[in-house]
Structure 1
């Protein structure tokens, strides 16, 4: 009989004092570095009862830490509570529930306070190590701050407050999310999650305006002048593009391929098309780009009182098209021309170096926004745990806090070209955050010891050193 190469192991009923989330030490250090703990305590002080033992800011940070470590409901706070030597005293489940109910009773002010604390912490992180390439304060040379806006759907598995049927035949909520794109050497930061009922339209211009206002407030003040707003066709409204133009910002917004685009495609000469590029700057086989602005028919001005707001597109808007042969089996649309799949976007970016192909690549990189949404759903957004809508509004702020903690840890702990800076939450947790360790007491100090042969010990060591010295 062949013997098993794995030695037999049985469970011992004796327990030891271990830390099951040793990598959480990096999260705790980031909280101290950026001042998030102090900021939340000050911001939420109006909601602290006079005889309360637990500070509301600390309670929300503990919940955010649990979510960052992989939890998706308040009961998962038990994992943080079980490690007091690492995370300190943690409130009980009833105390946390009472705090959520208290904040939900004054939800607009509570959300504003939490977001103000996040904005202050973000400014501290960016002052310590800017997560974007290029020179801050400049639009050229890679200094642009790209803000992505997109809506997503969150399924509700019970009849929660304001859960509604969605346009994709589901049931739940349709939050509007905004992110900062860190580029090819990083992940991204969550600037805001605005919870909406499931029947909210992805083309609602008022929601896009609110999302943009909330996103700009989250950025450090000196970074707001070189913002590029990037979104899909749901954000392509005259009022939204006029708002961006009036703020002096750039935009790259998906443009609906309607009759005016179809007329321009049929009119534009063949020599106007140029080779498209892939993400590495190499020619993309079977894809071409062209500017349609000069060939688009003059728009018909609508003066009906039922259509408030701007009647025409903003001055300086360019419409750029990309055509590519669709993959086998793909169904052509009415706006496709001679077998080409046509997609368009609008932008106001001009200047040296911004060729049509470069602008098109920049817009296509909006797909990273989908990665950020997937990461949010791996960090507490997949299922909203409360029945009450206001409690769930507080929960999505916790999700944003947890996502920021993970992104800030990667930004501050690792250099730009370190692969760990691009890891998504699942991989970050598995390799760095969930490693077990032992806390020992020696020379009047507490020390955390990691396993001998953990493959990613060097990253934890490097991250700890960087957080302590950067």
Structure 2
């Protein structure tokens, strides 16, 4: 019986000039192509000691690359440190720890510096590949909160509404629909007990997200949230900024009263994501049927309801009407049909994909004890997410790889091994023979040239 070739392989203790994350070259080139390296170095210049060997910006971007490659703690920087031919000299764990602690001591100024550099780099990327959030060149910004479990006692970790223990960060993403970028533009770390419907937190994260967008794009923003964002102060803030919104609206008694007044002919067929009628789902506008007791909301607010037959086995709710599952949202958008507005709002669920991907890019674990240190870590995960998305936006425009999630991107492109060859005083990276996506990596490297 013949043994397979795999079983006959014997590990050789010798070492060669290999890299295990050859696709990380794409991330390094994106870093330079976007100008993030220079912008961050200038922003963090005041945190660099006179005789320091490592630039604080280089340290943070090295950690971000490690996280983008799949790391979830500061110790995973060892993956980048082991490949100096690809990523250059990398700071020690002790140096990294000291920098995080130093930035946390002046957390407000540090966050401003990091976010300013990110905004500058984002404007460079958008200038090359302007993302479009939806119909009419809208930029849709989704706000949502998520729970991050803490497996040990950490500063700010508290019980959560789901009977867990940890944190409840609020996040903002650019929609990743057709031609959308899906960037994680802002994040605010909050204790686990923080509420989902806090107007102050929504306002803070929205303002941080708007600051990340190129200034000429901010007038085209549509803010989209679930019912957590359907609070008066937040909607007034959006209205005062002359922006549009599409937010979940809680089924309060005035809504139930309005539903009883809607004539049967007012309901029209809802649409699916492809624009075709959705069987068993209908939409109607409730604005004219709302009672006068519904006060204090912004002028121009429209309330739209969707009703659908619950799937078999679904638990009914108090707001269900005659067997219909009722959901509502509020918007101030004019000129769209009601079914189209409802489809746009329902696509808010794509933010859940962004949250899942961000948790796959370092957010699952907040590795430090101090709350401010973990806020810095959150900013690092946002940097890592930016590097991944910007790489796809710049390198794979019009290709399927443009929409790959981080897990697939790492498996096919970033984690490929390569060999470093030095010849003619230059280092060459050679990819393995027969790797199915080698041409895609080469195409990406060619596209990621400074403009």
Contact 1:185/1:421 (8 A) holds in 2: no
Q: How does 1:100-139 map to 2 (within 5 A)?
A: 100-132=100-132
Aligned to 2:190: 196
Q: Does 1:346 align with 2:327?
A: no
Q: Structure 1, unaligned stretches of length 5 or more? A: 135-140, 302-311
Match of 1:47 in 2: 47
Number of the residue aligned with 1:410: 392
Residues 67 and 362, structure 2, Cα contact 8 Å, conserved in 1: yes
Q: Which residue of 2 aligns with 1:271?
A: 265
TM-score calculated relative to the size of structure 2? 0.98
Structure 1 residue 160: Cα displacement: 0.3
Superposition TM-score, scaled by structure 1 size: 0.94
After superposition, give the CA deviation of every residue in 1:81-111 in whole Å (9 maximum; x if it has no partner). Answer: 0000110000001011111111111111101
Residues 210, 198 of structure 1: alpha-carbon distance in 2 compared, 3 angstrom cutoff = same
Q: Which digits, 9 at most, give the CA deviation of each residue in 1:21-60, with x for residues without a partner?
A: 1111111111111111111111111111111111101000
> d(CA) in 2 for partners of 1:463 and 1:90?
25
Per the TM alignment, residue 445 of structure 1 is displaced from its structure 2 partner at its CA by 1.9
State the partner residue of 1:466.
Answer: 447
In the other structure, the counterpart of 1:305 is none
1:321–1:345 contact (8 Å) kept in structure 2? yes
Partner of 2:15: helix, strand, or coil?
coil
> CA separation in 1, counterparts of 2:162 and 2:90?
40
Q: Which moved more, 1:60-69 or 1:7-16?
A: 7-16
For 2:91 and 2:51, the matched residues in 1 are separated by 14
Q: Does the Cα contact within 8 Å between 1:68 and 1:402 map onto a contact in 2?
A: yes
User: Offset at 1:458?
Assistant: 1.6
| 1:451 to 2:440 alignment | no
In structure 1, what is the equivalent of residue 368 of structure 2?
386
Q: Find the counterpart in structure 1 of residue 381 from structure 2.
A: 399
What is the CA–CA distance in structure 2 between the aligned matches of 1:3 and 1:66, rounded to whole Å? 38
**1:438 counterpart = 2:422:** no
**Count of aligned pairs:** 451
Specify every segment of 5 or more residues in structure 2 that has no aligned partner in the other structure, as ranges: none
CA shift in 2, pair 1:442/1:2, >3 Å: closer
Would you say the 8 A contact 1:155–1:170 is kept in 2? yes
Distance 1:300 1:32, change over 3 A: closer
Between the aligned partners of 1:383 and 1:35, the Cα distance in structure 2 is 28
Equivalent of residue 319 in structure 1, options 295, 300, 303: 303
Counting only pairs closer than 5 Å after superposition, residues 166-181 of structure 1 correspond to structure 2 as: 166-181=160-175
Q: Which residue of 289, 297, 309 corresponds with 1:295?
A: 289
CA deviation map 1:374-397 (0-9, x unaligned): 001000000100001111011000
Q: Please name the residue that 1:83 is paired with.
A: 83
1:216: which partner in 2? 210
8 Å contact 2:319–2:326 — kept in the other structure? yes
